[in-house]
């Protein structure tokens, strides 16, 4: 049954439409435009002074609501997905962390099955949860020197046969893979993953500029949590960070929580990548939405105090939510809300090849977030389902 949304403004997110109407029919957007140009159909949901925007997409998230996406608990993903929807996320990419091979394979099997189930269940949106859209494989093909908190004993050299094991376990649902391009065998794995449509993201890397360029030539096209777990920028040794900032072949993401990056560095990143190539992620862990304490990140124990997550003294993910990341771009980088929303919607959708999400336009999935003027989530609509 068709119905209509109206509000004070709409972010497509590339433009602003004042006094818009959005007609939704069968889980898709059928029409958008100003109230004077689009006739209301069916039930009308008037959002008053709010803004309509595409639902947020998080391409790097490990957990939330007390659960990790790798754990063997049927309650884990529903808890994560419920929390995500509360913060405006309608689609996400559950992200692994380096673990023993058998544990990683079991997690990939569970996540692949969950994604297939979500794809097949047209009524899944009725439970008000974000949808898993693909898996982000973070590790084990990463640098020992820039591993962060990933367990060193479980890191593996990139090998096609190992990647194939991961691919089969995940039922082909790996859509993003973080890899250090300088590792022996990395270019072959990058090329094969890219051939299969995976967004190959360069990160957790100590790569020189030459090694990074080889990774890009092989098929790398994105950078993982820029500045963090990366070879530092040197004025005679730009390395992977120089490429992440300056090479237009790479899109790149950041954790805009005010902890992983100083506000000035966030501004530098956004100025370098611009509104088309910058992406917001959360890198959120199980502690997100929970009180201070000790939580799991894969096989690791992480201590959470305030907004800081650490394991053995190193930063270990975040408790950031995507709506907060958007607001931080407005507050810390002085961007307008529409532009900040683009970094959490159209840009990640384009990076991971989600052609039916990330924009408000006819034919797109009716994944929508409702925001007030401060960017605070008022309502989240997944798959066009309202009460």
Catalytic residues, which ones?
A: 283
Three-class DSSP labels, the chain: CCEEEECCEEECCCCEEECEEEEEECCEEEEEEECCCCCCCCEEEECCCCEEEECEEEEEECEECCEECCCCCCCHHHHHHHHHHHCCEEEEEEECCCCCHHHHHHHHHHHHHHHHHHHHCCCHHHHCCCEECCEEEECCCCCCCCCCCCCHHHCCCCCHHHHHHHHHHCCCCEEEEEECCCCCCHHHHHHHHHHCCCEEEECCECCCHHHHHHHHHHCCCEECCCCCCECCCCCCCCHHHHHHHHCCCCEEEEECCCCCCCHHHHHHHHHHHHHHHEEEECCECCCCCCCCEEEEECCEEEEEECCEEEECCEECCECCCHHHHHHHHHHHHCCCHHHHHHCCCHHHHHHCCCCCCCCCCCCCECCEEEECCCCCEEEEECCCCCC
CB within 8 Å of 310: residues ≥ 6 apart: 302, 303, 316
And the tokens for 67? 């659960």
- Give the C-alpha separation, 253 to 229, whole Å: 13
């Amino acid at each position: 049954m068709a119905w209509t949304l109206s509000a004070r403004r709409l972010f497509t997110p590339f433009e602003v439409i004042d006094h818009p109407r959005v007609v939704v029919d069968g889980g898709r957007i059928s029409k958008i435009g100003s109230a004077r140009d689009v006739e209301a159909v069916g039930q009308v949901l008037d959002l008053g002074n709010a803004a309509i925007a595409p639902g947020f997409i998080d391409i790097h998230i490990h957990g939330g609501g007390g659960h990790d996406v790798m754990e063997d608990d049927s309650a884990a993903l529903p808890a994560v997905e419920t929390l995500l929807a509360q913060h405006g996320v309608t689609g996400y990419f559950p992200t692994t962390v380096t673990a023993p091979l058998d544990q990683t394979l079991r997690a990939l099997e569970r996540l692949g099955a969950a994604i297939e189930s979500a794809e097949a269940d047209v009524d899944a949106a009725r439970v008000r949860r974000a949808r898993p859209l693909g898996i982000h494989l973070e590790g084990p093909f990463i640098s020992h020197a820039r591993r962060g908190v990933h367990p060193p004993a479980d890191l593996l050299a990139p090998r096609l046969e190992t990647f194939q094991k991961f691919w089969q376990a995940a039922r082909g649902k790996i859509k993003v893979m973080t890899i250090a391009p300088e590792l022996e065998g990395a270019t072959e794995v990058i090329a094969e993953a890219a051939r299969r449509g995976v967004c190959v993201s360069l990160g957790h890397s100590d790569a020189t500029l030459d090694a990074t360029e080889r990774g890009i030539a092989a098929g790398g096209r994105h950078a993982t949590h820029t500045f963090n777990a990366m070879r530092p920028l040197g004025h005679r040794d730009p390395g992977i960070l120089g490429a992440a900032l300056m090479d237009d072949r790479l899109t790149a993401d950041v954790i805009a929580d005010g902890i992983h990056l100083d506000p000035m560095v966030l501004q530098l990143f956004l100025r370098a990548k611009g509104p088309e190539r910058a992406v917001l992620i959360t890198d959120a862990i199980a502690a997100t939405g929970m009180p201070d304490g000790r939580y799991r990140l894969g096989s690791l124990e992480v201590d959470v105090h305030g907004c800081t997550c650490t394991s053995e003294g190193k930063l270990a993910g975040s408790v950031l939510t995507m709506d907060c990341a958007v607001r931080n771009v407005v507050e810390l980088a002085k961007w307008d809300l529409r532009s900040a929303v683009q970094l959490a919607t159209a840009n990640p959708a384009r990076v991971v090849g989600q052609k039916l999400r990330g924009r408000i336009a006819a034919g797109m999935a009716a994944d929508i977030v409702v925001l007030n003027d401060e960017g605070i989530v008022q309502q989240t609509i997944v798959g066009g389902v309202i009460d």
